[in-house]
Amino acid sequence: MRVLPKITMQFLFVFILLILPKTALAKCEDEASSSVRWNYCDFQGAQLAGANLYKSAAQGTNFAGANLESADLRGANLKFSNLRDAILDTAFLNDAKLNMANLEGAFLGGTQLDGAELSGADLQGADLYYANIENANFEGADLRGSILKAVIGFDSANFDGANFSGAKTDNGVCAEGSISECIVDTEPKPAETTASSTQKFGTLYTEESLR
């Protein structure tokens, strides 16, 4: 087997660095930009409101508690990412890949999720008030306790195997064990002593005001 001279190998390495797209060499320290590569980075609590992350690669990245309000995440790869308690109000997640992502307690009020992939995602307690979920895929997603009031495109989304237990919809609260569809619980519930608050487009409101 012929071995290339050391100087030739060095030349090839430099040549590869020059011809590779800039995004292919991006690191976690790189600023937010279209097609940036942030795979498996840690942005917990980061302030990224309005950021341009169009078609970015952020698979397995930690965005827990981050502020991504109105951010452009169209076509972004967010598979297995941690978006727990993240603020995504009015963000653009059209055609984004959120398979198996953790969106527990996330704020998604008015968010554009049309065409998004959310199969197997954890959306427990997530607030999707007035979100656009047209043609989105929620197959096998965990929607327990989520807020699905006034969502757009509900009938066109795929909810096969999704868990709606305790989710709040325009028709009422989904019964325990509601899989693939919301079976409204007709049993009367005891009055709550306290009303929890959630965020809607940057402001606070109570769940009582949505009923």
Provide, rounded to the nearest whole percent, the portion of the chain with pLDDT above 70. Answer: 76
What local confidence, expressed as pLDDT, does residue 186 receive?
73
Tens digits of residue pLDDT in 163-188: 999 999 999 999 999 999 999 977 65
SS (H, E, C) 11-26: HHHHHHHHHCCHHHHC
pLDDT at residue 144, rounded to an integer: 97
Q: What CA–CA distance (Å, rounded) separates 7 from 192?
A: 74
How far apart are alpha carbons 72 and 84 in whole angstroms?
A: 18
Neighbours of 175 (CB within 10 A): 16
At 15, the amino acid letter reads F
pLDDT in tens, 103-132: 999 999 999 999 999 999 999 999 999 999
- Residue 27 — pLDDT band, cuts 50, 70, 90? confident
